Amino acid sequence: MINLEKEKLKRLYYFKRNNYYINKNYKKWIQKNEPNGDELEKQREEKFANSPLISVVIPMYNTDVEYFKILIDSLTAQTYSNIEICIADGSPYENPQILDIINNDNRIIYKHLEENGGISFNTNEAIKMAKGEYIAFVDHDDVLPLFAFYEVVNAINQNPNVEFIYSDEDIIIGNKRCNPSFKPDFSIDTLRSYNYISHLSVVKKELLNRIGGLDSEFDGAQDYELIFRIIENTSNIVHISKILYHWRFHRNSTSANSNSKTYAFESGRRAIQKHLERLNIPATVTSEKEVGRYRVKYNIISEDKVSILIPNKDNVEDLKKCINSILKSTYSNYEIIVIENNSTSKEIFDYYDEINKIENIKVVKLEINEFNYSKINNYGVKFAEGKYLLFLNNDTEVIESGWIEEMLGLAQREDVGIVGAKLLYPDNTVQHAGVIIGMGGVAGHINKDISCDDPGYFSRASVINNYSAVTAACLMTKKEIFEKINGFDENLKVAFNDVDLCLKIRSLGYLCVFTPYAKLYHFESKTRGYEDTKEKKARFAGEIELFKKKWKDVLDSGDPCFNKNLSLNSAKFIIDKKGRINH
């Protein structure tokens, strides 16, 4: 007999031990954002222009009757009623209690399989029964909110060409909801790092028929593998920023005991590798220590020259530390261009004489009577011989010698325009691990001040993933792209010029990628100082207004790499308990 109280405590301990995110504001968020009884009734009355049949496919095997009844009740009571529930049961025998439950609604189609073929086989059998225009994948022991398919169909009506839909989700322990996963819009690099899409997933039946069903070779990560084939065959993807799925946490689920299904994580690794092979992307996929997380290491296609551009004014000690750390890099085809701007000390010019003797280092001078980061770097690029530009602050120090290969492997992808690194303060807390548009009203660093070993909210600080911007304290891009967008905006002399650069490059259709595997220390702002005078404050305010004017549409629509349910007033991933989503 299981001691339920002990079991509950064990589960909660598991969450804390594995850095799962339980937010004290989540209950308030639910009350503020999810529809009440009157709103649910209004949903039931709504007539959509397009009311497609949704086929809910459920594979079963020795299903817990209590959990199954809760699931079926949540499906049959949906405020959007044009659904069918297709169940393929691979259990050794038909359970009379299960049969009693399914006989209560004529929308349920049940088939008892002659033998259990595994989760992919059973799911495919359920798909064969489906007559719907869209297929929704649901596990036999989970729960859906009553408004789930209303929101799905609403998204279909707003996006008539949509072929794949996914939503946010949370975990349910008993009757307690926790660990909300508020996801970014479609993010290929995040997906290649772990299955952030998961549930609720809805795919157009026509697309599914074209690409084939689930592959039993990847059982344990069969949904992950299928998602890769889906996104390879459509770009008509919609993310619904609402919790439309409750993943049940119990002692037999993957969420509860990762060690019980280690094969699933190996299947996930193989799924990513196969996906990359189908796209002819040379890379190696390895599993990370954090279960269910992966690292894709992209091959260096050609050893192109990288031009490392470092602005400098005086500050000989930091510059020396920076250059010495670069010289330990394992990648050899690079040049260092130091852009001298208004230095006065004898020590720095003595050091310039010293490093000018090194074959792949040159010092160029720009004489302007102000600090203009954009102008300084644009000037330096004129001397760059590399195919790739790596902008680097003089107050940085390389930690891992393979940093250039890591960034270059990503930058050489055709779909990537910007690559940013993980920057740490000297006390090993995070200074930069991605930039969010709209934070603080303009843009700001997310994950700031967390420990370097903290994976962050759903591992966003510890895996390769996409952000809308990264800091130019360490940023790589292709020289060709940089010149196409006319470089940094010289009207943004100090603030937000790197964010502006990233947004300009992204507007051409390129991705911005953050990698935690290129790691540096950043001593931050030692050269130019802070906004501590009236003149600097006025300049800073002017640059804020310029940025807001240039990127009003982006600021208004929200950062696609963030989530509208998360607060823009914190450097951490914190739920916005006030709520910014209207139902």
Q: How far apart are CA 66 and CA 68, in angstroms?
A: 5
Tokens read off for 492: 């943004």
pLDDT in tens, 332-361: 999 999 999 989 999 999 999 999 999 999
Q: Which of 118, 108, 106 is nearest to 57 (CA)?
A: 108
Q: What is the pLDDT of residues 6-44, one digit of tens each?
A: 444 444 444 443 333 445 688 889 989 999 999 999 999
DSSP assigned state of 400? S
Please write the tens of the pLDDT for every residue from 260-312: 467 889 999 999 999 999 999 999 999 998 889 999 999 999 999 999 999 99
Beta strand 54-60 with 134-137: parallel, antiparallel or unpaired?
Answer: parallel
Is residue 259 scored above 80 in pLDDT? Answer: no
Report pLDDT for 25. Answer: 80
433-456 average pLDDT score: 94
> Could you give the C-alpha distances from 543 to 348, 492, 529, 532, in angstroms and in order?
31, 6, 17, 16
Residue type, 286: T
The domain spans of the chain are 38-257, 306-557
- Answer CATH for 306-557 from 3.30.870.10, 3.30.470.30, 3.90.550.10, 3.40.1440.10: 3.90.550.10
User: What contacts 124, CB < 8 A, 6 or more positions away?
Assistant: 213, 214
More confident residue, 197 or 525: 197
pTM for this predicted structure: 0.91
Neighbours of 187 (CB within 10 A): 20
CA 439 and chain centroid, separation: 17
Phi, then psi, of 448 in degrees rounded to 5: -65, 135
Q: Give the helix ranges, DSSP H, for 162-239.
A: 188-191, 205-211, 222-233
**Which CATH code fits 38-257?**
3.90.550.10
pLDDT value at 329 more than 50 = yes
pLDDT (0 to 100) of residue 371:
87
Q: What is the pLDDT of residue 367?
A: 86
Spacing of C-alpha 12 from chain mean position: 25
57: closest CA among 125, 124, 137, 118?
137
Identify residue 345 by its one-letter amino acid code.
Answer: S
Q: Do domains 38-257 and 306-557 have the same CATH topology?
A: yes
The pLDDT value given to residue 576: 84
Q: Is the pLDDT of residue 562 over 80?
A: yes
Backbone angles phi, psi at 343, to 5 degrees: -75, 155
What confidence tier does 538 reach under pLDDT thresholds 50, 70, 90?
confident
Under a CB-based contact definition with an 8 Å cutoff, are residues 35 and 147 in contact?
A: yes
Q: Which residue has the higher pLDDT, 115 or 126?
A: 126
Q: How many Å from the N-terminal Cα to the C-terminal Cα in the chain?
A: 43
DSSP assignment string, 493-533: SSSSHHHHHHHHHHTTT-EEEEEEEEEEEE--STTT--S-S
Question: Quick one: tokens of 374?
Answer: 């954009």
- For 201-273, strand residue ranges (E) read 201-204, 237-248
pLDDT tens digits, one per residue of 166-217? 999 999 988 889 999 999 999 999 999 999 999 999 999 999 999 999 999 9
pLDDT over 60 (residue 106): yes
Please write the tens of the pLDDT for every residue from 382-424: 999 999 999 999 999 999 999 999 999 999 999 999 999 999 9
The count of other CB atoms within 10 Å of the CB of residue 572 is: 13
Q: Report how far apart, in Å, the C-alpha atoms of 535 and of each of 495, 538, 540, 544, 546 are.
A: 14, 5, 9, 14, 17
Instruction: Report which residue type is found at 378.
Output: N
Torsion angle of the four alpha carbons 525, 529, 534, 536, in this order, in degrees rounded to the nearest 10: -50
Mean pLDDT value across the chain: 90
Q: Please, which pLDDT band fits residue 76 given cuts at 50, 70 and 90?
A: very high
